[in-house]
């Protein structure tokens, strides 16, 4: 097969632009109703799995801590002088260098971790090299070697710790693989011979971490059999959206040739709103591109179409950020929250808090907390009718709470529960609408906002887009800011939004 002459790379950005242009206004809130068999399969994958990259990162941290702690203890016991800052820095740096060497030696690949006996020699040789470098640095910078007895104890204890830890990790990985904890769950999109070839290619890899959950295809049984390479066809592409929201799916692999552009575009128009990796399998593609155009699942080449936003260690960092700042905010603002709750109870009959069903991550329904701002007899759980200026349903106390956004403070407890993030697209009520139309009918790609957790505050809110959404232009502008936030997320971006929020709340023109 001759290499492709033009273009010489798969133009993913062009494909993404075309998807954006073709985002369907016919997107529906819940998608097609799943057939009973597909729903039964989806229920089997409701438990959250952890990506191999996240677990491997934890293993790295564990080994770094083990090497560092053993080194510090031995230095304290056998060191020629008492522990100094320079020795502490060098031992810490040496532990980090050892970790880097273990990475270079490919000891953190899942196959290496799974086969502890096969890679133990490589691990110990790498540790010996890191040990020598660390002690040379100690000798030159801290003046004098650790006594020979200390060196023997240091090296030997670390070898035992690393060997025992690697054996435990190997057992753990095999256990996690059997129980579905450490795997990437994938659905194959498209059936027939291309899907069969893809399944066979993935199954040939003994250390593959992909678990195929099923196959979805719109074609009838004549062109796409009900079972492909031992995996059942669970439904149509429309059902796939609902299946991916019910199950914890990590990846959608499209088993269609890259030349089938129109069909791929039609698929992506439906699928891009999901918080999953979307890949186009290139194993059976007769066209050959430059190596940098591909990513790989094991050895199977793929084109990266869309990536799941805020994933793996980014999601861990964001969760830590949420917990730390939410606890800090509650500690600082509890007098304000207590006063607001008392004012609500004394000013009108009814509960202090108001719970409203809203869309959360991946379109799941969550109960969002607010201080009640309306008369109980006039409250609107559905939010079909937006609050307007001078709305008679709002109590005098509620009007102040809404203008100052104090009514939103109970959502800090939603953050601690993991239902909300501090920063993200604001969660809208399930039945919220502008005029006579729901938001999903106004904005193309509206549900792509739900690829990340909704937030207490967001990029749209600090840009003046808060309060009543009484026109199509406002909901489009808010959605555009939300999608911009998702594409450009970082911890620094979250910090910027968080610290600008109190300043921008001084503008109460659109808050009723």
| pLDDT tens sequence across 255-272 | 877 667 778 888 888 888
| pLDDT tens sequence across 341-370 | 999 988 888 889 988 888 889 888 899 999
| pLDDT tens sequence across 434-481 | 666 777 777 777 888 889 999 999 998 888 877 666 677 878 888 889
* Predicted model pTM: 0.77
Q: Which CATH number fits domain 12-49+183-308: 3.40.50.170, 3.30.420.10, 3.40.50.20, 3.30.70.890?
A: 3.40.50.20
CA dist 170 and 176 (Å) reads 10
Other beta carbons within 10 Å of 189: 26
| pLDDT class of 81 with cuts at 50, 70, 90 | low
Among candidate residues 254, 150, 143, 139, the one with its CA nearest the CA of residue 194: 254
**Burial class of 85 by CB neighbour count within 10 A (0 to 12, 13 to 18, 19+):** exposed
| pLDDT class of 10 with cuts at 50, 70, 90 | very low
The strand pair at 251-254 and 184-189 is best described as parallel
- The whole-number pLDDT of residue 198 equals 86
| pLDDT tens sequence across 172-190 | 887 777 776 777 888 988 8
Q: What's the 3-state SS for 431-489?
A: CCEECCEEHHHHCCCHHHHHHCCCEEECHHHHCCCCCCCCCHHHHHHHHHHHHHHHHCC
- The whole-number pLDDT of residue 30 equals 41
- Report the share of the chain in percent with pLDDT over 70: 81
Q: Which two tokens stand for residue 445?
A: 């790609």
CATH 3.40.50.20 residue window(s) in the chain:
12-49+183-308
């Amino acid at each position: 097969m001759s290499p492709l002459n033009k273009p010489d790379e798969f133009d993913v950005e062009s494909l993404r632009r075309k998807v954006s242009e073709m985002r369907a206004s016919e997107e529906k809130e819940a998608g097609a109703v799943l057939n009973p068999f597909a729903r039964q399969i989806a229920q089997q994958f409701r438990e959250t799995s952890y990506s191999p990259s996240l677990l491997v990162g934890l293993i790295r941290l564990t080994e770094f801590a083990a090497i560092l702690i053993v080194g510090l203890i031995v230095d304290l016991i056998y060191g020629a002088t008492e522990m100094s800052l320079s020795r502490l820095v060098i031992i810490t740096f040496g532990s980090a260098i050892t970790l880097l060497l273990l990475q270079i030696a490919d000891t953190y690949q899942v196959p290496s971790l799974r086969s502890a006996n096969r890679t133990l020699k490589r691990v110990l040789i790498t540790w010996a090299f890191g040990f020598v470098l660390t002690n040379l640095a100690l000798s030159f910078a801290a003046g004098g070697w650790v006594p020979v007895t200390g060196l023997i104890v240091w090296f030997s204890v670390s070898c035992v710790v690393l060997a025992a830890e690697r054996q435990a990790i190997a057992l753990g990985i095999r256990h996690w693989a059997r129980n579905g904890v450490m795997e990437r769950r994938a659905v194959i999109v498209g059936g027939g011979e291309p899907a069969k070839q893809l399944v066979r290619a993935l199954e040939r890899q003994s250390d593959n971490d992909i678990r195929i959950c099923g196959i979805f295809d719109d074609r009838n049984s004549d062109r796409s059999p009900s079972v492909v390479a031992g995996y059942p066809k669970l439904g149509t592409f429309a059902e796939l959206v609902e299946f991916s929201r019910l199950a914890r799916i990590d990846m959608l692999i499209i088993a269609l040739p890259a030349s089938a552009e129109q069909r791929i575009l039609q698929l992506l128009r439906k699928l891009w709103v999901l918080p999953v990796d979307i890949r186009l399998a290139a194993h059976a593609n007769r066209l050959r591109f430059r190596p940098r155009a591909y990513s790989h699942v094991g050895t199977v080449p793929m084109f990266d179409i869309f990536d799941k936003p805020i994933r793996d260690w980014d999601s861990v960092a964001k969760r830590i950020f949420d917990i730390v700042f939410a606890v800090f905010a509650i500690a600082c603002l509890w007098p304000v929250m207590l006063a607001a709750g008392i004012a609500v109870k004394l000013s009108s009959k009814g509960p202090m808090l108001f719970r409203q069903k809203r869309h959360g991550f991946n379109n799941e329904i969550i109960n969002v907390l607010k201080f009640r701002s309306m008369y109980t007899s006039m409250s609107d759980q559905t939010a079909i009718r937006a609050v307007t200026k001078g709305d008679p349903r709002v109590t005098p106390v509620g009007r102040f709470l809404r203008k100052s956004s104090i009514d939103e403070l109970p959502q800090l407890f939603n953050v601690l529960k993991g239902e909300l993030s501090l920063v993200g697209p604001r969660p809208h009520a399930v039945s919220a609408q502008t005029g006579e139309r729901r938001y999903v009918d106004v904005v193309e790609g509206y549900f792509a906002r739900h690829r990340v957790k909704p937030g207490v505050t967001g990029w749209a809110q600090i840009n003046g887009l808060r309060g009543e959404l009484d026109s199509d232009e406002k909901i489009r502008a808010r959605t555009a800011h939300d999608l911009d936030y998702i594409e450009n997320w970082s911890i620094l971006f979250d910090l910027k939004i968080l610290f600008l929020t109190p300043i921008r709340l001084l503008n109460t023109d659109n808050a009723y």
